[in-house]
Amino acid sequence: MLVLEHISKTFNPGTPNENQVFSDLSLKVEDGDFITVIGSNGAGKSTMLNAIAGVFPVDSGKIFLDGNDITNLPEYRRAAFIGRVFQDPMLGTSPSMTIEENLSLAFCRANNVSLRWGLDFNKRKTFKKYLSNIPLGLEKRLTTKVKLLSGGQRQALTLIMATMKKPRLLLLDEHTAALDPKTAMLVNDLTEKIIETNNITTIMVTHNLEHAIKMGNRLIMMHKGKIVMDIKGEEKATMTIPRLLNKFEQLQGEKFAEDRVMLA
Amino acid sequence: MWQTMLLKSIEQGLVFGIMALGVYITFKILNFADLTVDGSFPLGAAVAASLIVGGHSPFTATLAAILAGALAGYITGILNTSAKISDLLAGILTMTSLYSINLRIMGRPNIPLLNQPTVFSMIQGAIENVFPGFPIRYLYLILFIIIVFVIKLLLDAFLKTQLGFALRATGDNPQMIRSQGVNTDFMKIIGLSLSNALISLSGALVAQYQGFADVGMGIGTIIAGLASVIIGDALFGEKSIFISTLSVLFGSFLYRFSISLVLSFRLAQASDLKLLTALVVIVALTAPRFKKTFKGFKISSEKG
Ligand SMILES: Nc1ncnc2c1ncn2[C@@H]1O[C@H](COP(=O)(O)OP(=O)(O)OP(=O)(O)O)[C@@H](O)[C@H]1O
Ligand SMILES: [Mg+2]
């Protein structure tokens, strides 16, 4: 359903800061795939998600979603089919607006915003229902400003906002990395639950190798702008962390270097 | 004397308060340091006065002023979003061009309106016909209260629509609202047009209230608008939209009232006022509280 064809991207071309992240990146994501992505620092994981979401134009290559060429579609138009959660809990919500106002923005996603009221009785009821699925008590705090929430509460809210209107594709970029272990687990469980019940095609970047192996149906490892490993099915199901690291060393002839990698 | 001074300050606070609401939209909601203000305020006065002198109905003239202001904001928006000119410079470019344009529109630096019909004189005439004993002394006060509160409530309502939510989120977190499918460039243009339409309306009403339009009447408008927003924010904080816009109007009144105080006690000459106002804004912006809350100014100074 999502196809990246020979993508190349260089940041700051022609300057001393020139940085070629991709020279020829291709990837085919099947309908219903839940892909976990791991890779060393600076491998280009976030850049790949940004290219898919249209944060910047790619230099060459094509991106197709359900057969439609979306390479030149601006970010806000791709948002109609793509839901995102970022690593930084600050990025996914509007801090000076309330929980219900933020949810209302997500509720309108993919429709043109109009002069109709942003909130009404039915919407509030729907939002309460969504929020009561997570054990954070947010359903009682609809009129709280989001800036007063903790990082974990915000990420949970962002996740709900990204999936409230079922997206064709969900992009998660280390969305639990900034959270304490307990909250991270909660958000992670919520992620799995939402993806499975709604069968959402997902690409999730993580630095937690255990999660990468345990979650999803397909695992991709990136290194220096290339996909160096792509496993699924039986091979992924029987994968362990030592074997994963081993395989990387065999492929690359160097050690897997990720400062934040979690081995357990 | 006190009573007159208070009455005048409330009247001015209200009529300039419409301009302050415009400044509130760009600086506080949209997080856009828009300096078009100093041009769009006299633009409203110029358009309204020229049309009135040219024999058009004051209502048509005022409506035209609103549209002209919206157009000015639209141009600043296009300069910023399509031509990628920074928000400060885009506003300054429009403001500077408007100085020449306003002179063109007026054909001379000053248009007196003393013997011309205005929206106020027409309403006054109508009211005197229907209610002969009406306290004309309070006519402006009552009219301004009605006009300004209708505008305030409409603005409050707008900010609670889907479009209003998108506008607020554009100022608050553009990355997030783009990922929710909103075209932030479009939202900026909407916000700037709306803001400058209000500012221009304020200019048109001020010209008819004080009885003349002057090409130099825009100088320092932005600072007066900022001062009103800051004073209101300092007193009431950001509790809700309803309170925020109300506090802008109250800030506008307090600002005009302090100016009359300073002048009536001869603490300063009229020509010192701009300096004093600038000092008030500087002090307020360096107070730690505003570093956080006054987004428009903070972000732009970090960028620049
Ligand atoms: N907007 C940008 N402008 C310039 N360079 C960028 C930009 N975004 C990313 N880069 C560069 O692209 C390279 C890949 O970055 P990217 O963020 O995709 O890595 P990553 O795999 O997500 O790493 P991490 O695990 O550290 O998040 C890095 O060298 C980074 O400095
Ligand atoms: Mg990254």
Mean pLDDT along residues A28-44: 94
Q: How far is A253 from chain B (nearest CA, A)?
A: 39
pLDDT band at A263 (very low <50, low <70, confident <90, very high): low
Give per-residue pLDDT as tens, B249-287.
999 999 999 888 888 888 878 888 888 888 878 877 777
DSSP string, A81-119: TEEEE-SSTTTTS-TTSBHHHHHHHHHTTTSPP-SSBS-
What domains are defined for chain A? 2-252 (3.40.50.300)
Q: How far is CA A160 from CA A33, A184, A212, in A?
A: 20, 15, 21
Give per-residue pLDDT as tens, A117-175.
999 999 999 999 989 988 888 999 999 999 999 999 999 999 999 999 999 999 999 99
DSSP string, B187-242: HHHHHHHHHHHHHHHHHHHHHHHHTEEETTTTTTHHHHHHHHHHHHHHHH-SS-HH
What is the CATH classification number for the domain harbouring B272? 1.10.3470
3-state secondary structure of A260: coil
Query: What is the amino acid identity at position A152?
Result: G
Residue A21 CA to residue B80 CA, distance in Å, equals 30
First to last CA, chain A: 33
Sheet of A218-223: strand order equals A82-85, A169-173, A202-205, A34-39, A218-223, A226-232
- Domain assignment present for residue B120? The answer is yes
Phi first, then psi: give them for residue B214, nearest 5 degrees: -130, 140
Show the domain range for B118: 2-294
How high is the pLDDT of residue B304?
27
CB B240 within 8 A of CB B20: no
Residue A21 CA to residue A58 CA, distance in Å, equals 11
- Domain assignment present for residue B172? The answer is yes
- Domain assignment present for residue B196? The answer is yes
B169 touches chain A (CB under 8 A): yes
Cβ count within 10 A of residue A162: 26
CB B47 within 8 A of CB B68: yes
- Domain assignment present for residue B29? The answer is yes
- Domain assignment present for residue B154? The answer is yes
Residue A48 CA to residue A212 CA, distance in Å, equals 17
pTM above 0.95, yes or no: no
pLDDT band at B237 (very low <50, low <70, confident <90, very high): confident
Q: Which of A80, A84, A116 sits opposite B161 (nearest CB)?
A: A116
Distance A261 CA to ligand 2 centre (A): 12
Cβ count within 10 A of residue B212: 16
Phi first, then psi: give them for residue B104, nearest 5 degrees: -60, -50
Q: Which residue ranges have their beta carbon within 6 Å of ligand 1?
A: A 11-12, 19, 21, 39, 41-47
The atom number, within ligand 1, closest to the CA of A225 reads 14
Between β-strands A169-173 and A202-205, what pairing exists: parallel, antiparallel or unpaired? parallel
pLDDT at B196 over 80: yes
Contact between A91 and B173 using a beta-carbon 8 Å cutoff: yes
Give per-residue pLDDT as tens, A172-231.
999 999 899 988 999 999 999 999 999 999 999 999 999 999 999 999 999 999 999 999
- Domain assignment present for residue B300? The answer is no
- Domain assignment present for residue B301? The answer is no
- Domain assignment present for residue B9? The answer is yes
pLDDT at B288 over 70: no
B287 has which bridge partners? none
pLDDT band at B290 (very low <50, low <70, confident <90, very high): low
**Nearest residue (CA) to ligand 1, atom 17:** A46
Contact between B179 and A84 using a beta-carbon 8 Å cutoff: yes
Q: How many structural domains comprise chain B?
A: 1
